[in-house]
Amino acid sequence: MFLIAQPVGTTGQLIISLSVIVMLTVISVLRLDGTWRHIFLAVASVIVLRYAFWRTTNTLPPADDLYSFIPALLLYGAEMYCILMLAISLFVVSDPIDREPAPQFPDEELPTIDVFVPSYNEGKEILALTLAAAKAMVYPKDKLRIYLLDDGGTLEKRNSPDPDVARTASIRHEELRTLCRQLGVRYHARAENRHAKAGNLNAGLEVSEGDLVVVFDADHAPEKNFLKETVGYFLEDPKLFLVQTPHFFANADPLERNLGTFGAMPSENEMFYHRIQKGLDRWNASFFCGSAAVLRRDALRQVGGFSGITITEDCETALELHSRGWTSIYVDKPLISGLQPDTLASFIGQRSRWCRGMIQIMLLRNPLLQPGLTFPQRLSYLSSNLFWMFPLVRLAFFAAPLLFILFDMKIYVASLDEFFAYTVTYLIVAEMVRTYLYGNVRWPWISELYEYIQTVFLVRAIISVFLSPRSPKFNVTEKGHAIEEDTLSELAWPYFAIFTLFCVSLAVAIYRYQTEPEISGLLLVVGAWNFLNVVIAGAALGVVIERKSEQDSHDLLAVGQCDLVVGEESVPVSVASISPTRARLIPARSAKLPDMRRGGKAILWRPEASPDGIISTLPVSYTGGREDDGSISVRFEPDTEHYAIIADLMMSDLSPARDARADRRKRRSIILSTWTLLAWALRYPPAAAWMAITGRRRGRNDPQPVGAVAPTPRGSAAKPEPGAA
């Protein structure tokens, strides 16, 4: 701290900063790790802390100038929040842990397991696949019970005074009871819809008795070896309450789909699941994420079941159990396949729930005040809670240049030389740290884009929680609904308004630069800041153009062998990709395909499925003809009993899908990422405006956006293109 506080002058600061940047570049280019990782973070921290000291002591306007001092203080607070979050996150991820595979035990030593699939309004097809995949997991069958916990068919809903609600709930109740009977799993609907998902899970605890509890969301189908990869840890550690695995998605989120990045760019959740959770695991602070996890019943019993004070019952439950001395493990291997929200509205709804729930935990169950936690655990949970304050910080960063350009508020007192010596070098170092830690799971500028998209609506959510911490209600995220044609999102208009405001302020900055030469240097800096906001807001207009879902948008890469049978004709085929409704098959090029034009019914026959009690034939529709790559497409025509073979084909081995995702984890240069962002900002504003003005729905054959990354065809043999919080 003594060295950080030393006054060295602007030139001396620039020399120190450039020397550090050179050192960090060498460590990054040589991909040095181990001790060098700590050296990298320590040296980078010197520049960050020197900036924080200079920012605190030299850049605030006089306190008696309230017109400028108050907004300046708000901006300063936002910057200090970022530095605090950087410090906490560096601690969290400084030494991530890679777990050894779960130990294996004889069948007679394995614990009994209850699998809970909580549901509210999901369709029969989604549930059938998840339940069939859960039942097919490798485990002694006399020790495994599957429960569908149906909150859409409760007694309360079936007796609702609203006849439409009562009728819908009654139909759903009978339909899902029949589904569960046909699949050989247990159905349970509680009496009342109280405490949302936490209450539903607790109702499941009341009617079951297994040693361990596994939770899968309704759209999270598990791989066959899920229990093999997780259960063994519990026999080694009697204080273990949780084994959490990553959430892994078959489809793109709205940003990935609408900007065309899904085939090349690492998914948004990979930074959390592939980096941050591993860092949390080092401090015994990896937490329950609501699904794809195994929990110990005795631990849950000790705290009265799943916590329901907040709407993020998963993190809240883990916090309570960690404070009681229980331990957790994170296994960095995707073992389920789920669905992400398809529309921007459902995406924002999901993130609003996460945001409100995490802030509820901070206000109602503050980890700094929670007894029983270690200091690293307190910091780890605080990091997860404080992260969701980012919308307020982003709001400050968006508003700050507008306040100077439009209202002449002096909120950042610095010369041009000081700005480059301290601020610019600090921003460069901070970006180098993010790239060093997260570069292969998060492209430059993508965090800014995701956070801007969410900020527009999450600011109001944060304020509502602070005003009434106990009022938020659990909302179910809508998933699995295909978008039939290109159109504007129902949430588009605020993004248009903000983009217009940024453009107007940029024009004013240019005018003032030409007419007020005495502050031209400061206007140049603030104008560049505002220009960056224009670029981010322009790129975001590409996200509000909801693109039609690709036919294979939910497909998983797969490995499997079947026979395509039509009448007496049979052709061996390999399953290249598959979804719950269709598959892409690769027959031998020399094979003669059955001619469906002569009639008859087609089936996929998988004889090796029979020994496990899985039905071996699956009815499909097949129109004949090969694609350019030699493949053929079939669409499933399943009854309930056929979901067992669909689950077997999809979820027996997720290795191809895991490998495809791992291939996308390649660093992308800041130059290429900047060009891509600029290209989106140039292309999408006029395209979105044209759709808004004319009501025209963009066709599938319209030219693709300049700079967009074309998605790799799902299931093809092609490799993805190469490419913080």
List, by residue number, the catalytic residues.
151, 314
Helix (H) or strand (E) holding 36: helix 35-58
Nearest Cα neighbor of 277 from 427, 97, 491 is 97
Nearest to 300 by CA among 284, 312, 313, 311: 313
- Measured CA to CA, the distance from residue 468 to residue 463 in angstroms comes to 9
**Secondary structure (H, E, C), 602-648:** EEEECHHHHHHCCCCEEEEEECCCCCCCCCEEEEECCCHHHHHHHHH
In whole angstroms, what is the distance from residue 487 CA to residue 552 CA? 19
**3-state class of 230 per DSSP?**
coil
Q: b or e along 87-125 (b: 16 or more beta carbons within 10 Å of the residue's beta carbon)?
A: bbbbbbbeebbeeeebeeeeeeebebbbbbbbbbebeeb
Q: Which residues contact 280 (CB under 8 A, 6 or more apart)?
A: 92, 286, 287, 330, 380, 384
Structure-block tokens of residue 371: 């007894």
Beta bridge partners of 574: 561, 586
Specify whether the CB–CB gap between 702 and 558 falls below 8 A.
no
Intra-chain end-to-end CA distance of the chain, in Å:
26
The full 3-state SS of 309-347, as one line of letters, equals CCCCHHHHHHHHHHHCCCEEEECCCCCEEECCCCCHHHH
Residue 225, classified by CB atoms within 10 Å of its CB into exposed (0-12), middle (13-18) or buried (19+), is middle
For residue 579, the SS3 value is coil
State the residue for tokens 């999270």. Answer: 220
Beta strand 186-188 pairing with 144-150:
parallel
Partners of 222 in the beta sheet? 336
Helix 520-543 / helix 390-407 crossing angle, nearest 10 deg: 130
Residue type for 636, please? F
> In this structure, how many other beta carbons lie within 10 angstroms of the beta carbon of residue 86?
19
Q: Which of 572, 622, 573, 617 is nearest to 597 (CA)?
A: 622
DSSP reduced 3-state for 82: helix
Between the CA atoms of 676, 678, 683 and 686, what dihedral angle is there, to the nearest 10 degrees?
A: 150
**Closest-CA residue to 149 (of 180, 125, 126, 195):** 180
Alpha carbon separation from 30 to 26, 40, 128, 571, 713 (Å, rounded): 6, 12, 50, 51, 34
What does the alpha-carbon distance between residue 261 and residue 248 come to, in Å, rounded to a whole number?
17
Residue 39: what residue type? I
The encoded tokens of residue 210 equal: 């297994």
